[in-house]
């Protein structure tokens, strides 16, 4: 299973959240059910971008690039 870089947008205020995961569907559900402390106050979240990478290292490099 690969690693995904993903971008979510908050339907509450339009903010973006960027992260990595191996399971996008599960992670989006975690964000929308309040299990992620940082994103719990800005629910609901909508997936706007995802890209798969072969390694966690590659995904982390891309996540850092997107956050800067």
Percent above pLDDT 70 for the chain: 100
Confidence bin at 1 (pLDDT 50/70/90): confident
DSSP 33: T
pLDDT in tens, 8-56: 999 999 999 999 999 999 999 999 999 998 999 999 999 999 999 999 9
Count other Cβ atoms within 10 Å, centred on residue 8: 25
What is the value of pTM for the model shown?
0.94
Task: Determine the straight-line distance between the first and last CA of the chain, rounded to whole angstroms.
Answer: 27
**Helices assigned H by DSSP within the chain:** 24-32, 56-67
Which domain, by its residues, includes 12?
Answer: 3-67
Closest alpha carbon to 64 in 56, 46, 37, 34: 56
- Give the number of domains in the chain: 1
What CATH number is associated with residue 28? 3.40.1440.10
């Amino acid at each position: 299973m690969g690693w995904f870089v993903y971008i979510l947008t908050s339907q509450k205020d339009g903010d973006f959240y960027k992260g990595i995961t191996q399971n996008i569907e599960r992670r989006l559900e975690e964000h929308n059910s309040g299990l992620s402390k940082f994103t719990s106050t800005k629910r609901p979240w909508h997936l706007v971008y995802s890209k798969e990478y072969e390694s966690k290292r590659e995904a982390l490099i891309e996540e850092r690039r997107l956050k800067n």
